[in-house]
Amino acid sequence: MDKKNNTAVFRIGLSRFEIPVVIDDYTIEFTAKNIHWDNFNTIATGIYILPKHYYEGKDFNKENFEFPVISGPYKVAESKPGRYIRMVRRGDYWQRAYPFNKGRYNFDDVFYKVYNEEAIGFQAMLKGDMDIFPAYKAATWVTEAVGEKFDKNYIVKQRIFNEKPLGFQGWAMNTRRDIFKDKRVRKAIAHLVNRKEMIEKLAYNEYEPTNSYYPDYYLNGETNPNEAIEFDPEKARELLKEAGWKPNASGILEKGGKEFSITILDRDKSTEKYFTVFMEAAKQLGIKASIETTDLAAWSARIDKFDFDLTWAAWGSGVFKDPEPMWFSKYADENGQHNLAGIKNKEVDALIEKQKSEFSLAKRNTMVKKIDTIIYKEYPYVLLWHLANIRLMYWNKFGMPEMPLGRYGTEDYATDYWWFDAKKNEELEKAMKDNTALPASPKEIKLPKIETPQALEEETEPVVEKPVVKKVTKTTTTKKTTTKKKK
């Protein structure tokens, strides 16, 4: 794939295949170079089918809003970059009658609005300009989502618990910069972050501290082997001294004639309060820290080039964990890849290579947990906190299945599974007109108990042999295909 295109996220998986061969108008043949547990998924669900006749000869990096030929259940009706996008349901969707789509995609129109600040979006929700609103910030959920509309259940305020894979968020320290090459320095920075105080005083006790790069492994009682990095300025001072940083005449830490000075690259004014707490603690030890705030586009451009000292980054996860994009040494030097911290570790690389050909999920998970314990002690991030549920608000006019977002879905799945309930909408309008309350809705929704088949609990080797034929064939309704990364 052409590295000039912003398609780094696809390059890892597709690099495992030879150049595709068009067999006929409806069949493309992919031949794998190597065995990998994710090969089939990479081709079957991991790439998007786009029309070659439209995109050929155009700059992929500038094609973000025009999709004249698509293969999904909705098509773009209109859009305005940075403002909104309106999707309309297609009557000719080729998978509409497929059994696994029964009951899905019930809305004729789906309107996504873009707000630069959550507070502005929330006010639009209260006015009725939005129907569904996920609360990403604790303050919105705890202090702002209150009042008559919530008390009378016009707007439902609900926590939804499912098995959505948990990623992590934290402050990435760029080990390509000399100041962060020593892991003692990185650990010292972690000791200067008072997560307990931040969670209690700034985040309304909404979160649990994260002590793993794969925190969902440890949600159901399994012991996490990683030792939590607690707020401890004196320990930080000791580590910095061991690493050769000593205070100069002005009290600023110095090594080799250079002061300890870092710039925090930020993209959200609302997160400054957390950095400010850290900066006060860092200042007491002689660390100079400043914040540079930019917009999302500029931040993304710099992150893609690893042009930062320290920045706040949040990552999603998958049901099946693949550590390669985040932690493989090879991608520490390739722009646009996920190894933001630039970590290179030979033991981790060996485990990543080993897990590629392992088809037992239980054994792969054991390898990933080992990778986690190794990476954790390299301190590439100051790990912060996580939330094991989805905070959702919606006007009380929708129907939904027993599992509102599916077993593994996020808030995005509301438009997949929900439907407009005319009767509930009529009751809502009448209650608002009469100034009466609607019946209370559950404050929490949890997954029903699902028995796990014994075979899955045991996680034995698959009964089928590992493949030796390295071909994956995908049939499509588009004659020729190409791929791009959406920005």
- Where is pLDDT greater, at 10 or 288? 288
How confident is the model at residue 333, as a pLDDT?
Answer: 94
90 within some domain = no
Are residues 232 and 339 part of one domain? yes
Which of 127, 157, 131 lies closest to 143, judged by CA? 157
Are residues 67 and 39 part of one domain? yes
Helix (H) or strand (E) holding 121: helix 118-127
What DSSP designation does 293 have?
A: E
Amino acid letter at 479? K
Distance between CA 91 and CA 200 in Å, rounded?
50
Are residues 152 and 69 part of one domain? no
Amino acid letter at 419? W
How confident is the model at residue 486, as a pLDDT?
Answer: 37
Token pair 């439902």 is at which residue? 156
The pTM for the full model equals 0.87
| Domain at 319, CATH number | 3.10.105.10
Are residues 277 and 232 part of one domain? yes
Residue-by-residue DSSP string for 365-427: HHHHHHHHHHHHTT--EEE-EE-SSEEEEEES-EE--SSTTTTT--GGGHHHH-EE-HHHHHH
> What mean pLDDT comes out for the span 340-365?
97
Residues written for the chain: 487
pLDDT over threshold 70, residue 471: no
Res. 450 pLDDT band, cuts 50 70 90: low
Are residues 150 and 202 part of one domain? no
For the CA atoms of 420, 424, 425, 431, the dihedral, rounded to the nearest 10 degrees, stands at -160
Residue-by-residue DSSP string for 132-154: EEE--SHHIIIIIS-SHHHHTTS
* Residue finishing a domain among 386, 404, 428: 386
> What mean pLDDT comes out for the span 367-375?
98
For 176-219, the pLDDT digits (tens) are 999 999 999 999 999 999 999 999 999 999 999 999 999 999 99
Are residues 428 and 474 part of one domain? no
What DSSP designation does 364 have?
A: H
pLDDT over threshold 50, residue 274: yes
pLDDT over threshold 60, residue 313: yes
Are residues 210 and 124 part of one domain? no
Are residues 54 and 4 part of one domain? yes
Distance between CA 129 and CA 92 in Å, rounded?
29
87 within some domain = no
94 within some domain = no
How confident is the model at residue 451, as a pLDDT?
Answer: 60
- Of 56-65, 124-133, 458-467, the range with the lowest mean pLDDT is 458-467
What's the number of domains the chain is made of?
3
For 224-262, the pLDDT digits (tens) are 999 999 999 999 999 999 999 999 999 999 999 999 999
Tell me the average pLDDT of the chain: 90
Are residues 298 and 192 part of one domain? yes
Find all residues with CB under 8 Å of 223, minimum gap 6, and list them.
none
How confident is the model at residue 459, as a pLDDT?
Answer: 44
* Residue finishing a domain among 360, 386, 412: 386
> What mean pLDDT comes out for the span 290-310?
95
Amino acid letter at 23? I
Which of 321, 109, 84, 112 lies closest to 215, judged by CA? 321
In terms of residue numbers, what domain contains 173?
A: 168-386
Res. 6 pLDDT band, cuts 50 70 90: confident
Percent of the chain with pLDDT over 70: 91
Are residues 316 and 182 part of one domain? yes
Are residues 456 and 425 part of one domain? no
Distance between CA 321 and CA 7 in Å, rounded?
21
How confident is the model at residue 4, as a pLDDT?
Answer: 74
Are residues 340 and 411 part of one domain? no
> What mean pLDDT comes out for the span 325-349?
96
pLDDT over threshold 50, residue 414: yes
- Where is pLDDT greater, at 391 or 26? 391
How confident is the model at residue 33, as a pLDDT?
Answer: 95
Answer yes or no: are the C-beta atoms of 142 and 427 closer than 8 Å: no
pLDDT over threshold 80, residue 54: yes
Res. 130 pLDDT band, cuts 50 70 90: very high
135 within some domain = yes
Buried b (16+ CB within 10 A) or exposed e, 113-145: eebeebeebbeebbeeebbbbbbebbbbbeeeb
